């Protein structure tokens, strides 16, 4: 399915990735009824806004289950929508500007002008890290600086603690996003491995 956005086609496929010479979207919704996650026969593209999406997730997951909707834009950004068992809804976006320019902007409209709260990670012991850093050659330093400058304006938004109760602290998620901005699938896979939906998500790709 092709949707036009700002004059250029955006490929959006549910449950698999599609390549047409440009970057593609991948979407999937998974439910956890207590005995593991399963992919749902529900399409994120059918939702007009966040309320629609949550209603679809709730209907498919059942009263006692929870669900997660995953939206990825290859090499650029991802969004997670979690419907918790207590009916609380949490949303995390790895790049607000990219989400706003996407075909899914209406779903995330309430979060696009949100700004990240301060999540301070626990300090870690040094173990001579400073000495190791000085040993890095200049070429590697230049490559790293270029990568950081490329993504310097990206800003995440929403609930960084979306899965803090299931082993993904807010500080860890933020660190993953900032470290792998050009590889959103890697960050989603990390969350999935910790929470328990990585295999089901990978099977749907």
CB-CB contact of 29 with 204 (8 Å): no
Write b or e for each residue in 9-24: b if 16 or more Cβ atoms lie within 10 A of its Cβ, otherwise e: ebbbbbbebeeeeeeb
Q: In sequence order, which residues have a C-beta less than 8 Å from that of residue 138 and are 6 or more positions away?
A: none
Backbone angles phi, psi at 12, to 5 degrees: -130, 115
Given a cut of 50, whether residue 158 has pLDDT beyond it is: yes
Given a cut of 50, whether residue 149 has pLDDT beyond it is: no
**Model pLDDT, residue 147:** 39
pLDDT tens for 80-101 read 999 999 999 999 999 999 999 9
The two tokens of residue 85 are 């068992």
Residue 153 pLDDT level (bands cut at 50, 70, 90): low
Give the bridge partners for 66, in sequence order. 32
pLDDT tens for 5-62 read 333 334 444 454 434 335 689 999 999 988 899 999 889 999 999 999 999 999 888 8
Give the bridge partners for 186, in sequence order. none
**Model pLDDT, residue 54:** 96
Mean pLDDT of 98-114: 91
C-alpha distances (whole Å) from 37 to each of 69, 71, 179, 203 are: 12, 17, 27, 12
**Model pLDDT, residue 107:** 96
Other CB atoms closer than 10 Å to residue 115's CB: what's the count?
A: 8
**Model pLDDT, residue 148:** 37
**Model pLDDT, residue 42:** 87
The residue extents of the domains of the chain are 2-204
Q: In sequence order, which residues have a C-beta less than 8 Å from that of residue 147 and are 6 or more positions away?
A: 182
Given a cut of 90, whether residue 128 has pLDDT beyond it is: no
Mean pLDDT of 59-88: 92
Chain-centre distance for alpha carbon 91: 9
């Amino acid at each position: 399915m092709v949707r036009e956005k700002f004059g250029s086609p955006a490929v959006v496929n549910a449950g698999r990735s599609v390549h047409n010479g440009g970057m593609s979207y991948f979407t999937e919704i998974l439910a956890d009824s207590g005995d593991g996650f399963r992919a749902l026969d529900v399409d994120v593209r059918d939702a007009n806004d966040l309320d629609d999406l949550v209603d679809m997730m709730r209907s498919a997951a059942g009263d006692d289950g929870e669900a997660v909707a995953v939206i990825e834009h290859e090499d650029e950004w991802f969004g997670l929508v979690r419907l918790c068992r207590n009916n609380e809804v949490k949303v995390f976006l790895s790049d607000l500007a990219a989400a706003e320019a996407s075909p899914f902007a209406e779903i995330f409209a309430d979060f696009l002008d949100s700004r990240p709260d301060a999540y301070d990670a626990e300090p870690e012991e040094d173990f001579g890290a400073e000495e190791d850093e000085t040993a890095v050659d200049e070429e590697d330093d230049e490559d790293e600086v270029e990568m950081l400058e490329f993504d310097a304006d990206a800003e995440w938004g929403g609930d960084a603690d979306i899965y803090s109760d299931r082993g993904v602290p807010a500080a860890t998620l933020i660190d993953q996003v900032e470290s792998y901005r050009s590889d959103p699938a890697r960050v989603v896979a990390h969350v999935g491995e910790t929470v328990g939906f990585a295999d089901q998500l990978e099977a749907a790709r």
